[in-house]
A and B are shown apart, each in its own frame.
Chain A
Amino acid sequence: MDPTPISNTFLAEIIEATPGGGALLTCLQCGSCSGSCPSGPDMDHSPRKLFALIRAGEREEVLKSNTPWYCVSCYSCMVRCPKEIPITDIMYTLKNKAVQENSYEDKDAPDWSKSFVRYVEDYGRSYELGLATRYHLTHKPLKKTSLASFGLGMLTKERLSLRPEKIKNIDQLRAILKKAKTLEGA
């Protein structure tokens, strides 16, 4: 790895927060990631371009980008990257930072993640019915009338539970998560 200290603070920050993130310094800008990305066409910056922006220290532009939020975590780029950069994990780092700094512009994906996490923290298990209704009724419900038939289908086929399941030792889980949050960035 480059022995000289990284003068670009944003780049250093991303590397620091990502396990194995140092590989980002070796990015060749070959574009294998962008070419492999299934949701690339919907991103405002392709993954390759986003890495160029990080290396150029364009903090604001990167943290408001929808690119990390359109990452579907398929790891296709990660197995193809010739420099073995943990691309999906870098996307998670960018999501974490955008949430901490409230800098994302498109709210749908972050809100979905937050609703999901809330159920996990309350019950220890995910709860599909509660999650879907809570999220969709507050996010453009009128555009989602087709989801009503989906929900009804799930219910009649007994594929949705009417009440959430709670784990027995939820207090233990909450204590672990509480402690973990104090260690984030520590």
Chain B
Amino acid sequence: MRYGYYPGCSLSHSAKPYGDSIQSIRTPLDIELKEVEDWNCCGATEYVALNKTAAFALVGRNLALGSQEGFETLVTPCSACYLNLKKTDHYMGKFKDLDKKTNEALAAGGLSYKPGSLKVRHMLDIVVNDIGFDKIREHVTRPLEGLKVASYYGCLIVRPEFEEFFDDPELPTHMDKLMETLGAEVVDFSMKTHCCGGHMPQISTDTAYSLIYGILNEAQKNGADLLVTICPMCQLNLDAYQAQVNKQYKTKFNLPILYFTQMMGLAFGASEKELGLGKEFVQAAPALKKIGTAVEKAQEKPKRRKRGDKTLPMPQKKVEVKYG
């Protein structure tokens, strides 16, 4: 399948391992990504804070270039880029005045964009919906059994809800299913769509560290060996500031933060170097040693409830995964 590709600025620098691991899983899954020629920054959450019209025009240039190249779908792995591209396309379609101003600005550069001509999608969406769990399972040569993971979405892929959204804004589950398909055990994680702090580590460390603390604490309490993420900003905040959070809260978190594409690559048997592993602040190697150490659990018989047990009966999750 062929897609227009908008990597975003982080993918070649702070989130290089994300870019590398996407390249690694692309070939076996037959995903053709053609980078939009001469794309520019999406403006993150900063440009729109200063000047809205210019911020929409900034994103509009990328949409215009993408549709000019004839793409139907524009894929991006970064949640902030995803939001900005999707929001601009959606708002241009919904608000005529915004469409007019954006196109007037684009015309100054000889460009134009008709809202709706591109479908903006996140890489996770492509993997779980276009490729699908069955095809992914066929490529698993090294099931991630023995590894307990918390799947962390952050904000901007699940919110806000524009039309045709593919998962729940409060309790999304696609990444959980993906991780189970790869053989990992998924722990309960109530913080999966809580904010990582965004740009707050630069502005108010107290605010930022309290948000990061809440996420890491919940993951650790539920027994996760690592967190899996889909966003460069989330990875950076949870990984690079973990030491500072430990200092501030007198905790001993040691939770690696990996991209979902790195997890896929690992299960597909790719080398650590190919997947950019080892570039994380909190090293993943010790946790990844657990892969393959899972002991076959004897099938437990459902326990009979004791007489006088006043607790609520909890649903039991059944997972059946077969590989190859």
Residues on A lying within 8 angstroms of B by beta carbon are: 17, 19-20, 38-39, 42, 69-70, 72-76, 78-79, 88, 92-93, 95-96, 99, 108-110, 112-114, 116-117, 120, 124-126, 128, 132, 135-136, 146, 149-150, 153-154, 157-161, 165, 167-169, 172-173, 175-181, 183-184, 186
User: In this complex, what residue of A is CB-closest to B159?
Assistant: A75
Is the pair A19, B94 in contact by a Cβ cutoff of 8 Å? Answer: yes
Residues of chain B with a CB closer than 8 A to A172's CB? 61, 109-111
Chain A residues within an 8 Å CB radius of B140: none
Question: Which B residues from 162 to 187 make CB contacts under 8 A with A?
Answer: 169-170
Across the interface, do A180 and B49 meet the contact criterion of CB distance under 8 Å? no
A-B CB contact pairs (8 Å), 29 listed: A20-B95, A69-B203, A70-B207, A73-B45, A73-B198, A74-B156, A74-B159, A75-B160, A92-B48, A92-B49, A113-B49, A125-B9, A128-B9, A132-B202, A146-B244, A157-B280, A159-B14, A160-B14, A168-B38, A169-B38, A173-B40, A173-B58, A175-B108, A176-B60, A176-B61, A176-B111, A178-B108, A183-B53, A183-B101
Other contacts beyond A38-B195, A117-B50, A120-B43: 12, CB < 8 A: A39-B207, A73-B156, A79-B160, A99-B49, A125-B9, A128-B10, A154-B14, A157-B279, A165-B12, A169-B38, A177-B105, A180-B102
Do the beta carbons of A117 and B40 come within 8 Å of each other? no
Q: Which of A109, A168, A176, A184 touches B109 (beta carbons < 8 Å)?
A: A176
A interface, over-half SS = helix
Interface membership of B155, Cβ < 8 A: yes
Contacts of B194 in A (CB 8 A): 38
Whether B52 pairs with A93 at a CB distance below 8 angstroms is: yes
Interface size on B, residues (CB 8 A): 71
Residues of chain B with a CB closer than 8 A to A113's CB: 46-47, 49-50
A96-B207 contact in complex given A124-B40, A158-B16, A173-B61, C-beta closer than 8 Å: no
Known: A120-B43, A126-B44, A173-B109. A180 touches B54 (CB 8 A): yes
Docked complex: B43-85 residues within 8 A CB-CB of A: 43-54, 56-58, 60-61
Asked whether A128 lies within 8 Å of B47 as measured between CB atoms, the reply is no
Q: Which residue in A120, A153, A159 is a CB contact (below 8 Å) of B58?
A: A120
Residue B130 is within 8 A (CB to CB) of chain A in the complex: no
Interface pair A110/B47, CB less than 8 Å apart: no
Task: Considering the complex, give the chain A residue whose CB is closest to the CB of B210.
Answer: A41
A167 to B6, alpha carbons, bound, how many Å? 14
Per the bound structure, the CA–CA distance linking A7 and B202 in Å amounts to 40
Across-interface contacts of A92 in B (CB, < 8 A): 48-49, 52
Do B46 and A112 touch across chains, with their CB atoms under 8 A apart?
yes
Q: Does A96 lie within 8 Å of B50, measured CB to CB?
A: yes
Task: Looking at the assembled complex, report how far the CB atom of A112 sits from the nearest CB atom of chain B, in whole angstroms.
Answer: 5
The residue that B240 contacts in the complex, of A78, A154, A183, with Cβ under 8 A, is A154
Given A108-B204, A128-B14, A179 contacting B160 (CB threshold 8 A): no
Instruction: Verify if B4 is at the interface (C-beta below 8 Å from A).
Output: no
B275: min CB distance to chain A, Å: 14
Determine the distance from Cα of A112 to Cα of B53 in the docked complex, in whole angstroms.
19
Q: A161–B126 Cα gap in the complex (Å)? A: 29
Q: Which residues of B contact A178 (CB under 8 A)?
A: 108
